[in-house]
Chain A
Amino acid sequence: MFYREAGQFKTSYNKDQAVFPIIQDRWFIAAVIIGAYAVVPFAADEYWLQAVIIPFLILALAAIGLNLLTGYAGQVSLGTGAFMAVGAYACYKMTTNIPDLNVVVAFLISGVMAAAVGIVFGLPSLRIKGFYLAVATLAAQFFILWLFNKVGWFYNDNPSGTITAPPRELFGITITGPQATAEARYFVSLTFLVVGAIVAKNLVRGRIGRSWMAIRDMDIAAEIIGIRPLQTKLMAFAISSFYCGVAGALYIFVWLGSAETEAFDLLQVSFPILFMIIIGGLGSIMGSIMGAAFITLMPIFLTNFPPMIGIHLATDLQKHLEEIIFGGMIVAFLIVEPHGLARLWQIAKEKLRLWPFPY
């Protein structure tokens, strides 16, 4: 079969420590990435790119960010939307005030701004945990969006109250604003996700990731080993918010084009991203991406699949069905498989490895 681990002995710790120690996995991932660059943009039409694939890529980046904080460091956050908004508004202010600034640099600085805000709202995490911390981050969510709505400076006192991405180029190709093609915007989002996922994976398999997980699993023991709780938690908040900030900037600049604060609403963004990591798998980078794919694809599936088999659902019924399915799955995953789709995938691979002759 495809998965045959037997016979693949790891001859060095380096090989054993590789992200995908099994060669078939490496081929699979390489094929996915090559396909994403070389096939998808030509196979998918404008509608698919704009309505499904680009938002999936950007939300997956934010989901990775939240997973670093919640899945790895164990700090629950409902402020994802707010941290994304910080990135988006920072990017808007920078690009409109400094027209010559390279837009990719602007995206990265937006992430740094979000990281700074994330550190501030992470401070209570030294004292409070779990549910109470979630409530504190909820306060961040409401306060930041209120602030961006209230203070005209953030949207350049634009009478409509919206921020609009100005057209900016990278290598001579317009990648933001209405003139940018879906393909260009796709490549930008994809590249941010690929790089972001690799960096996140590197972080979690090294010293920093282990200190996050140690704090998550047993904070007192972690402290006695010499891990400083505040520093470690704040670093998780900072890096997580960096990811969310960059994703937020991309959300406006390469996806929506223009938006108001409502685009970063709790129910629009923060909760769905939390659901992505729960369904995809807490403490898994791959799971964050799977969860994002699942949540963006599910509505499309519900729109298209029932008619294909001759069932026609009313739009509102379909919407309710979607919510019921999400709700049910979240409860199911939380109870049965907190490691989510990522773990199910792993189990499937293990089964496949032994199939058809279990040892």
Chain B
Amino acid sequence: MPATRNIGDVLLDVDGISISFGGVKALSDVSFDVREHEILAIIGPNGAGKSSMLNCINGFYHPQEGTITFKGKPRHQMQTHEAALQGIARTFQNIALFKGMSTLDNIMTGRNLKMKKNLFWQMLYFGPALKEELEHRAVVEEIIDFLEIEAIRKTPVGKLPYGLQKRVELGRALAAEPDLLLLDEPMAGMNIEEKQDMCRFILDVNDEFGTTIVLIEHDMSVVMDISDRVVVLDYGKKLAYGTPDEVRANQDVIDAYLGVAHE
């Protein structure tokens, strides 16, 4: 299945990234690249630096060494909100939804950057502002249909079960129509059925919209199934990097990670 998609040029290039917090070296000299339309998985034991890597990619952490090149442009020190402008969206390991808002409003917020009507029109909620609101609402409704969450449209997300919250968070990220989608453990804490649904959504997003995806996942069967390439981190270092088969066959990985997991 992945083979049928045409993987494009390098979209994101991560080169020699290091970051440490106090004495803890969360990442040391990690390099890899992500090509257009591919699904790349980052795996590794707890505390390996996976989430830190995503935080560097979307500008939330500033690496002390190394460069990140996105869409061919080397990135300088940037503020967090700029990543969204460049076309990067993400979900979080510990769901970061807007708890007081409904599913619909959460996903609508994902489209904020695309909405341009100024304060004046917003005050009137009429004419161009209403038209804009309805256009975006229509897109959001498509996402809601796609994720099969029609029934919880108006529910405050704080009241939803965990699995659905993860889905809404994916919806919010999709609403931005990102070029690069970062998913931090999208299936953590889900049962088999929910995991299958989530896998299907991720593959469909990748397939239908051509979105490039970097995801972190602990479930090895999932990783091996859906990703084109895999980066293995351990104690902040890159242990292996390649196709699922290559990684699976790598002795370091077997020793350090798979071995542990299978004990």
Per-residue B-contact encoding for A265-294, CB less than 8 Å = 1, 0 else? 000000000000000000100000000000
Q: Which residues of A contact B82 (CB under 8 A)?
A: 226
A11 at the interface (CB under 8 A from B): no
Q: Which residues of A contact B99 (CB under 8 A)?
A: 217-218
Q: Could you tell me the distance in whole angstroms from the C-beta of A219 to the nearest C-beta in chain B?
A: 10
Contact of A202 among B100, B101, B124, B137 (CB under 8 A): B124
Per-residue B-contact encoding for A176-220, CB less than 8 Å = 1, 0 else? 000000000000000000000001001101111011011011101
Are A224 and B97 also in contact (CB < 8 A) when A202-B122, A206-B125 are? no
Per-residue A-contact encoding for B165-182, CB less than 8 Å = 1, 0 else? 000000010001000000
A288 to B138, CA, bound (A): 31
Determine whether the beta carbon of B81 is less than 8 Å from that of A224. yes
Select the stretch in B67-75, B102-110, B215-223, B251-259 that faces chain A.
Answer: B102-110
B152 at the interface (CB under 8 A from A): no
Select the stretch in B84-92, B204-212, B234-242 that faces chain A.
Answer: B84-92
Determine whether the beta carbon of B81 is less than 8 Å from that of A227. yes
Determine whether the beta carbon of B134 is less than 8 Å from that of A14. yes
B33 at the interface (CB under 8 A from A): no
A269 to B82, CA, bound (A): 40
Determine whether the beta carbon of B100 is less than 8 Å from that of A225. no
Q: A220-B60, A226-B82 are in contact. List 12 more A-B contacts (CB 8 A).
A: A13-B141, A203-B122, A206-B129, A210-B112, A218-B96, A221-B98, A224-B80, A225-B81, A225-B110, A226-B85, A227-B81, A229-B81
A229 to B90, CA, bound (A): 18
Q: Which residues of A contact B18 (CB under 8 A)?
A: none
Q: Could you tell me the distance in whole angstroms from the C-beta of A300 to the nearest C-beta in chain B?
A: 33
Q: Could you tell me the distance in whole angstroms from the C-beta of A327 to the nearest C-beta in chain B?
A: 26
**Residue ranges of B at the interface with A (Cβ–Cβ < 8 Å):** 58, 60, 80-85, 89-90, 92, 96-101, 105, 108-110, 112-113, 115, 117, 119, 122-125, 129-130, 133-134, 137-138, 141, 172, 176
Contact of B97 among A199, A203, A218, A226 (CB under 8 A): A218
Can you give 21 contacting A-B residue pairs, CB < 8 Å?
A13-B141, A14-B130, A14-B134, A17-B133, A205-B125, A206-B122, A208-B122, A210-B105, A210-B108, A211-B112, A213-B101, A214-B101, A214-B109, A217-B98, A218-B96, A224-B60, A226-B84, A226-B113, A227-B112, A229-B81, A283-B100
Determine whether the beta carbon of B100 is less than 8 Å from that of A226. no
**Residue ranges of A at the interface with B (Cβ–Cβ < 8 Å):** 13-14, 17, 199, 202-203, 205-208, 210-211, 213-214, 216-218, 220-229, 235, 283
Q: Which residues of A contact B138 (CB under 8 A)?
A: 13
Q: Which residues of A contact B89 (CB under 8 A)?
A: 224-225
Closest residue of chain A to B133, judged by CB?
A: A206
Are A225 and B113 also in contact (CB < 8 A) when A206-B125, A214-B98, A217-B100 are? yes
Q: Which residues of B contact A202 (CB under 8 A)?
A: 122-125
Are A207 and B115 also in contact (CB < 8 A) when A213-B105, A224-B58 are? yes
Q: Which residues of B contact A17 (CB under 8 A)?
A: 133-134, 137
Q: Which residues of A contact B115 (CB under 8 A)?
A: 207
Q: Which residues of B contact A14 (CB under 8 A)?
A: 130, 134
Closest residue of chain A to B55, judged by CB?
A: A224
Q: Which residues of A contact B84 (CB under 8 A)?
A: 224-226
Q: Which residues of A contact B100 (CB under 8 A)?
A: 213, 216-217, 283
Q: Could you tell me the distance in whole angstroms from the C-beta of A40 to the nearest C-beta in chain B?
A: 27
Determine whether the beta carbon of A225 is less than 8 Å from that of B119. no
A199 to B125, CA, bound (A): 8
Contact of B176 among A208, A213, A218, A225 (CB under 8 A): A225
Per CB-CB distance, the 7 closest pairs between chain A and chain B, nearest first, are A226-B84, A202-B125, A221-B96, A217-B98, A226-B113, A207-B115, A223-B80
A199 to B124, CA, bound (A): 7
Q: Which residues of B contact A207 (CB under 8 A)?
A: 112, 115, 117, 122, 133
Q: Which residues of A contact B134 (CB under 8 A)?
A: 13-14, 17
A226 to B112, CA, bound (A): 8
Determine whether the beta carbon of A225 is less than 8 Å from that of B141. no
Q: Could you tell me the distance in whole angstroms from the C-beta of A130 to the nearest C-beta in chain B?
A: 16
Determine whether the beta carbon of A208 is less than 8 Å from that of B80. no
A205 to B122, CA, bound (A): 9
Determine whether the beta carbon of B83 is less than 8 Å from that of A224. yes
Q: Which residues of A contact B60 (CB under 8 A)?
A: 220, 224
Are A211 and B109 also in contact (CB < 8 A) when A218-B99, A225-B84 are? yes
A221 to B101, CA, bound (A): 13
Are A226 and B81 also in contact (CB < 8 A) when A14-B130, A210-B108 are? yes
A14 to B141, CA, bound (A): 13
A350 to B60, CA, bound (A): 43
